[in-house]
Structure formats: structure tokens, C-alpha cells
Chain A
């Protein structure tokens, strides 16, 4: 015969302080799991949506994987347009975007010298970067910038400091914010975009970092790659944008592995914390458990009731943490070396977080319950 369901539920209410503290401990553990898994998922999402399969990046062969180190001749876009037939062209405009990309110190009204990512672009940039949308304001003119949704997070400043009309300083020049853009969570969202020629003037550079080309339907990136191989004098390399960000995923693989290791550690520590709490909870109830056995309840039924209590507490803690994570953590901007991204509490994060929570409930309740039930009824009834 099983113990009634209400017995376990009422037991939780009988010791409100102990129950509250256990709930808090479990909720903290589950919240930590949510934070770490949300971090991993946010990083993965940011890199996976950043690359467009139809966009090819052409940059210096000497810069290896880092386009910030790339320097190519200013005539490269014209040369590529003239030599290649596979790029998209509409109304006589080649979808070829010359860009100068730099990591530089940026000062805002509330932040002195935050490290920002600045991209000098032309009107053709949104033709190639098709997920970029102006959500506020207008395209920048001379000495104006348009900032990504996460640029303030990258700079470590308040979003008000990058409001339209505010000024920022970089490369010894003052720039006025003319608008904001979003890019479906892609890496550009943490960047500041300005006019290419203005940026070249202030940085005293005539070269470019890269050229981004949008492929025409049916065209192959291999054609561009072959052109770069044939023109060895230009020292160019071509890479699909999606492959570029996939290589960054590989680059950040140790970070992701470390983060999953943290999830395992936090979960392990959580199990021990749960065990400790449940040992305390069960230790004070040895007589009660012996009485139940004397009344005729089988050990298995009592064990099940104790596990029920643990799982109920863990489920409540998971629910509490889940609600907090979804309402307060989801979408929170995180600054990172490659820019900034948002914590992502998605289905995977919910599954892992709640799974760990429920596991804590079961694993935490089992050993102390087994220990308590191993004693004989007569001795347990005399326990203090």
C-alpha cells in the first residue's frame, strides 16, 4: 500500500523554513545551470545565424582566420566585380560590399575607452548583409554612425549613451549616432557601422579589410576561390561567410566544452547540496518513518513518498528558476571577445535546467531515505 499523495505534500508544509531553504538551494543550482546553458546556446546561436551561405568573404591570405588583421588593396572590389560573373547584380548594381573592419577604443558619454568593433561600409553593405535591418533612425552620412542592437553591451556602456543624436568618439573623431540596426542575432549586432570613406580618412588607411560578395542563384563560391588562387599576386583568399563563422565555432569549442564542464560541476555540487539538505530533513524524521513502518506501510512505499517530496521541491525550484530565467535572463546581452551576444533560454536550456533540477530531487532524496529505512523499526522508534 502506498502512502497518500497528500502526505508528502503536507509534510513539505510542516517544516516551512527547512522547505523554503531547500527550495532556495535547489533553485539557485538550477538557475546557475540556466545561466551557463543560456550562455552556450547564445554563443552557438550568434555564430550559427551570422553566416550567409550565399555570401563569400574575400580577404587577405596572410590574415589566416582573423579578418581584423586583413589588409587588401582598395581596387579589389572593382577587380572582383570585373573578373567574376557569379555575383548578384540588380538594376546595374553589383552586390559587392567593400569593408574596413577594426577593433578600436570607443568613448561614449558614460564610458571612457570601451573596446568596440567598427565597420566602415558603403550603401551596398545591406545589399549583401541581407539580415541587417534599420530598426530606428537613418543610414549614416559623413561623421555619423549606425549602431547595432548589442553595441552598447560590447562597449560596456548604457544603451542611452548610444541613443540617436548622441555622440561617440573613436579614432580621434566625434561621430553622431544616426540610427540603430538589428541583424537577427548575428555577430554584426555588436558593431558600429560608419561611412567607409570617412573611416578610411580618419584611420589614414586607403586599404580595405575585406570584400563581401553575394552570389547569384546557381553560382558557386568555388569560382571566386579559383580566381583568388589564380591571382597569386593579390594574395587573396575566399571563404563562404557560413564557413568563416563555422571556423569561429571551432575556435570557441574549448569555451563551449568548458561551459558544459561547468554545467556538470554545478549539477554535481547541486546534488551534494541536495543530499545534505535531504539528509538533514530525513534525519529528524526517523521516528516518524519507523511509525509508518509499524503501521504497516512497506519500505518501498515510504521511500517513494520521500522521493515524491524531493521531486516536488525540485520541480517547484525548477519552475521558479525557469520563470526567472525566461523573464529576466533570456535576451540579456553578454560581452565577449568576438563582440556581444544574448543569453538564450531556449527549449534546450529549459530541458537541461529542469532535467538537472528533477535529477537533484531524485538523487538527493534517495540515499538519505534508504539510510533511514535500513534501521530496524524497534531501534528507530526509540531514536531521539
Chain B
């Protein structure tokens, strides 16, 4: 009987010790899901143009709809913010047989990326970037194809940033 008590105590200690840590940091799933409804489009917006074309034609403060693939560097997402870089789908990324561990960095086609990359930041009603990780907010990952609707921002160096208010994620 005494032995049984000890076994129970040990088992309890293991169960308590191995339990998942409470997630004190970061938003919980319900919070992210609620925010997600605001920013994820259910139907694909029409008239989306590739990133390369938008870099040539889009003006600052102009409404744009862009299509692109998440990537452009080994870490295309901004930690802690709903922001990431997208590359025009016409630019091929490294094929599986190239043996590249991070094909979304386009290491095989780097020169083409320069003119075909844009930054997307999902913004709230005040225009500030949404403080949730894009991977959780939009349920996307590297090389996901997205269609973003928002306002373009161009600078003198030709960089294009889209302050997006809706993002549609194409099924793979």
C-alpha cells in the first residue's frame, strides 16, 4: 500500500512536471482568431497584378491588389507583426531537386527578386501594423500565395510597401 502511495506521488510529479507551460506571453488563439476575421478575405479579389508590374506602375497612396508568394529572404516574416515580403509568382523559386533547405529565399534566382519584391504590412483602422504574427493571423507560411488589397507606398529608391487591409490566401 505504501509503495502504491509512492508510485502515485511519483506519477503525479511527472504529470505536473511535464505539463505544458502556461502561455503567459503572446496573444491567445481566440484573440488571434477574432482578429483574423477582420483581415482575411473569404473570396479572392479580382484584378490582382503581379508584384513586378505593381513596382513599375503603382503610385503612392493608390489602392492596389497584388498577388505574390511569401518569400524573398530566409526569414520573410517580421517577428511579432503581421508583416512579410512577397515575390512575384512569375519568379521561380528553388526547385526541390536543387537541395535548398529554404527555397523561399530564392537563392537560385536572386537577381530577379530585386525588381519583383514588395513588403506587405497588415494595418488596423488607425493605419498601424497589426501586432500579431502573420503566420498565426493569416494562417500562412513561406511560399504561400496571397492576394493583398491595400494602399501602395513607393519611395524614391523604388521600394514598394502595401498597407494591406484584406489578405486572401490561395489554396495550395
Interface residues of A (CB under 8 A from B): 61, 64, 220-222, 225-226, 229-233, 237
Known A229-B85, A230-B119, A232-B119: A222·B79 in contact at CB below 8 Å: yes
Determine the residue in chain B with the shortest Cβ distance to A61.
B73
Contact status B78-A229, CB under 8 Å: yes
In the bound complex, CA of A232 to CA of B114 (Å): 8
Chain A residues within 8 Å of B69, by CB: none
Chain B residues within 8 Å of A220, by CB: 80-81
Q: Per-residue CB proximity of B9-26 to A under 8 Å, as 1/0?
A: 000000000000000000
Known A226-B83, A226-B129, A237-B73: A232·B78 in contact at CB below 8 Å: no
For the residues of B in contact with A, the DSSP-based class is loop
Chain A residues within 8 Å of B81, by CB: 220, 222, 225-226
Chain A residues within 8 Å of B119, by CB: 226, 229-230, 232
Determine the residue in chain A with the shortest Cβ distance to B117.
A232
Q: Per-residue CB proximity of B72-95 to A under 8 Å, as 1/0?
A: 111100111101110000000000
Does any Cβ of A come within 8 Å of B27's Cβ?
no
Q: Which of B59-67, B136-144, B155-163, B164-172 contacts A (4 or more CB under 8 A)?
A: B155-163
8 residue pairs, one from A and one from B, having the closest CB atoms: A233-B157, A222-B80, A222-B81, A230-B119, A225-B78, A229-B119, A230-B161, A226-B78
Determine the residue in chain B with the shortest Cβ distance to A65.
B74
B108 to chain A, nearest CB (A): 15
Question: Residue A231 contacts which of B74, B83, B157 (CB distance < 8 angstroms)?
Answer: B157
In the bound complex, CA of A264 to CA of B118 (Å): 52
Determine the residue in chain B with the shortest Cβ distance to A243.
B79
Question: Residue B159 contacts which of A64, A230, A237 (CB distance < 8 angstroms)?
Answer: A230
In the bound complex, CA of A176 to CA of B134 (Å): 52
Chain B residues within 8 Å of A233, by CB: 157-159
Contact status A222-B78, CB under 8 Å: yes
In the bound complex, CA of A225 to CA of B133 (Å): 13
In the bound complex, CA of A279 to CA of B82 (Å): 68
- Of A226, A229, A237, the most chain B CB neighbours within 10 A belong to A229
Determine the residue in chain A with the shortest Cβ distance to B129.
A226
Between A and B, 11 residue pairs with Cβ closer than 8 Å are: A220-B81, A221-B79, A222-B80, A225-B81, A229-B78, A229-B84, A229-B119, A230-B119, A231-B159, A232-B159, A233-B157
Known A232-B119, A237-B73: A225·B159 in contact at CB below 8 Å: no
A111 to chain B, nearest CB (A): 39
Determine the residue in chain A with the shortest Cβ distance to B81.
A222
Given contacts A61-B73, A226-B83, 6 further A-B contacts (CB under 8 A): A222-B80, A226-B81, A229-B83, A231-B157, A232-B119, A233-B158
Chain A residues within 8 Å of B159, by CB: 230-233
In the bound complex, CA of A233 to CA of B159 (Å): 7
B75 to chain A, nearest CB (A): 8
In the bound complex, CA of A229 to CA of B85 (Å): 7
Chain A residues within 8 Å of B121, by CB: 226
- Of B74, B117, B119, B155, the most chain A CB neighbours within 10 A belong to B119
In the bound complex, CA of A52 to CA of B72 (Å): 28
Chain A residues within 8 Å of B80, by CB: 220-222
In the bound complex, CA of A233 to CA of B113 (Å): 11
In the bound complex, CA of A230 to CA of B75 (Å): 14
